């Protein structure tokens, strides 16, 4: 297949490209690194020439924090909607949209609402669509995964409130294997929540990351949510990840029933193992196939 992949230079995009090219597919990469500013591609015109001879589209473009030139609404909603319309016009029927866990009717953050806007738009089109909503993704090279690894190395672990927020971490290999399955499955027009096999608290996840890095369990430093949010207003100038909304999303925690996804994929998620934290999809998949 010839596949147009947005967000090709990102965490999901890099891992998906390696998997699909290994299986003989041809990838047309779309990202700023490849000369395309997706946030500015908000009409059909820029997309149509790119869709010639394309068999499927995977939209993996996304940001977790806004910058001056990269906003949620433009990148997550307007540009994908234009791409989806272009697919209809170019008769590209298969579209895989990478959303996020929490981009549903309970969404409140600009991040989740922008993802949901694109999801809802795609669902009403007469194409073979998939909307994938992964939980927290871990593995080598992930921005948020590396951030949590750094936090876990601190002498004391800072947590918001009691640190009991629910997480269902899933490995990058499970995410890209799901996308690959979506490209060939006859059972399209599905929304799939991609979640790990177990639910852990935020504090336990940090402790697990410490142990995986050869450190002992650490004392916990509970921080009032109001104090953390005040600090993020100052820290946002240094990192787009330090946003009040990101803290609100963490405080809320997200859980989902992954049974529908597991039936679609034909198996459960990979069980957590410390070595998977430093493994990309290409490294993890052979290991999984030997043990499954």
- The CA dihedral of 269, 103, 107, 63, to the nearest 10 degrees, is 100
Query: How far is the CA of 274 from the CAs of 19, 87, 140, 169, 270, in angstroms?
Result: 22, 41, 12, 13, 12
The sign of the torsion formed by the CA atoms of 30, 285, 292, 169 equals: negative
Identify whether the C-beta of residue 83 lies closer than 8 Å to the C-beta of residue 77: no
- Distance in angstroms (rounded) separating the CA atoms of residues 120 and 131: 9
What is the pTM (predicted TM-score) of this model? 0.90
Q: Which pLDDT value is given to residue 292?
A: 44
Q: Please give the pLDDT value at position 64.
A: 82
Q: What is the pLDDT along the chain (292 residues), one digit of tens a residue?
A: 999 999 999 999 999 999 999 999 999 999 999 999 999 999 999 999 999 999 999 999 999 877 888 899 999 999 999 999 999 999 999 999 999 999 999 888 899 999 999 999 999 999 999 999 999 999 998 888 888 899 999 999 988 888 888 999 999 999 999 999 999 999 999 999 999 999 999 999 999 999 999 999 999 998 887 776 666 655 554 455 555 555 555 656 677 999 999 999 999 999 999 999 999 999 998 754 544 4
**Which pLDDT belongs to residue 65?**
79
pLDDT for the residue numbered 238:
47
The domain locations on the chain are 2-291
Alpha-carbon distances, residue 19 vs 24, 59, 236, 273, 275 (angstroms): 9, 16, 35, 21, 20
Q: Are strands 128-134 and 137-138 parallel, antiparallel or unpaired?
A: unpaired
Specify whether the CB–CB gap between 218 and 210 falls below 8 A.
Answer: yes
Residue 241: per-residue pLDDT: 53
133 close to 191: Cβ distance less than 8 angstroms: yes
The confidence score (pLDDT) of residue 37 equals 96
Which CATH architecture describes the domain 2-291? Answer: 3-Layer(aba) Sandwich (3.40)
């Amino acid at each position: 297949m010839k596949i147009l992949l947005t967000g090709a230079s990102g965490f999901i995009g890099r891992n998906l490209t390696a998997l699909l090219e290994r299986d003989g597919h041809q990838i047309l990469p779309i990202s700023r690194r490849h000369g395309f500013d997706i946030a500015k591609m908000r009409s059909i015109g820029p997309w149509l020439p790119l869709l010639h001879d394309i068999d499927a589209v995977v939209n993996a473009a996304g940001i977790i924090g806004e910058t001056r030139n990269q906003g949620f609404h433009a990148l997550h909603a307007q540009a994908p909607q234009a791409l989806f319309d272009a697919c209809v016009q170019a008769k590209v029927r298969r579209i895989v949209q990478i959303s996020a866990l929490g981009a549903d009717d309970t969404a409140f953050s600009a991040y989740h609402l922008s993802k949901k806007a694109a999801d809802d738009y795609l669902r009403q089109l007469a194409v073979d669509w998939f909307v994938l909503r992964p939980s927290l993704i871990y593995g080598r090279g992930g921005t948020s995964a590396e951030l949590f690894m750094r936090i876990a190395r601190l002498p004391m672990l800072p947590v918001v409130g009691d640190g009991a927020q629910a997480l269902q971490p899933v490995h990058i290999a499970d995410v890209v294997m799901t996308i690959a399955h979506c490209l060939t499955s006859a059972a399209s027009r599905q929304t799939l929540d991609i979640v790990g096999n177990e639910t852990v608290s935020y504090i336990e996840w940090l402790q697990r990351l410490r142990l995986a890095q050869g450190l002992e369990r650490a004392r916990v430093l509970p921080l009032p949510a109001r104090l953390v949010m005040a600090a993020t207003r100052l820290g946002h100038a240094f990192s787009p990840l330090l946003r009040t909304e990101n803290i609100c999303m963490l405080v809320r925690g997200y859980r989902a029933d992954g049974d529908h996804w597991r039936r679609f994929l034909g198996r459960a998620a990979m069980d957590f193992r410390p070595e998977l934290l430093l493994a990309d999809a290409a490294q993890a998949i052979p290991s999984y196939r030997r043990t499954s």
